[in-house]
Amino acid sequence: MEKAIDRQRVLLQHLRPSFTSSSVEDIESSISASICSAGDSAAYHRASVFGDDVVIVTAHRTALCKSKRGGFKDTYPDDLLAPVLRALIEKTNLNPSEVGDIVVGTVLAPGSQRASECRMAAFYAGFPETVPVRTVNRQCSSGLQAVADVAASIKAGFYDIGIGAGLESMTVNPMAWEGSVNPKVKMMAQAQDCLLPMGITSENVAGRFGVTRHEQDQAAVESHRKAAAATASGKFKDEIIPVKTKIVDPKTGDEKPVTISIDDGIRPNASIADLAKLKAVFKKDGSTTAGNSSQVSDGAGAVLLMKRSIAMLKGMPILGVFRSFAAVGVDPAIMGVGPAVAIPAAVKSAGLELDDIDLFEINEAFASQFVYCRKKLELDPEKINVNGGAMAIGHPLGATGARCVATLLHEMKRRGKDCRFGVVSMCIGTGMGAAAVFERGDSCDELCNARQNETHNFLSKDAR
What Å distances lie between residue 254 and 190, 197, 245, CA to CA? 49, 37, 13
Nearest to 165 by CA among 122, 124, 129, 128: 122
Report the length, in residues, of the chain.
464
Q: Which residues contact 39 (CB under 8 A, 6 or more apart)?
A: 449, 450, 451
| Residue of 395, 404, 419, 444 marked active site | 395
Phi, psi dihedral angles at 102 (to 5 degrees): -120, 120
Strand-pairing partners, residue 362, are: 425
> Are 406 and 438 a contacting pair, CB within 8 Å?
no
Judge whether 410 counts as a catalytic residue.
no
368/202 Cα distance (integer angstroms): 6
- Other Cβ atoms less than 10 A from the Cβ of 89: the count is 19
- Other Cβ atoms less than 10 A from the Cβ of 32: the count is 14
> Are 433 and 363 a contacting pair, CB within 8 Å?
no
Per DSSP, 117 falls in state: H
| Residue of 36, 404, 419, 427 marked active site | 427
Strand-pairing partners, residue 133, are: 102
350/58 Cα distance (integer angstroms): 22
| Residue of 118, 140, 373, 419 marked active site | 140
The DSSP bridge pattern shows strands 133-136 and 432-440 to be: unpaired
Q: How many CA atoms lie within 13 A of 275 on its CB side?
A: 27
Angle subtended by helix axes 367-376 and 213-232, to nearest 10: 90
**Concatenated DSSP letters of 173-236:** S-S---SPPPGGGGG-HHHHHTTS-HHHHHHHHHHHHT--HHHHHHHHHHHHHHHHHHHHTTTT
Judge whether 140 counts as a catalytic residue.
yes
Nearest to 336 by CA among 198, 207, 222, 224: 198
Nearest to 343 by CA among 319, 365, 363: 363
Strand-pairing partners, residue 440, are: 320
29/23 Cα distance (integer angstroms): 10
**Concatenated DSSP letters of 299-316:** EEEEEEEEEHHHHHHHT-
46/192 Cα distance (integer angstroms): 43
The DSSP bridge pattern shows strands 297-307 and 54-61 to be: antiparallel
The DSSP bridge pattern shows strands 133-136 and 101-105 to be: parallel
Which residues are tagged catalytic? 140, 395, 427
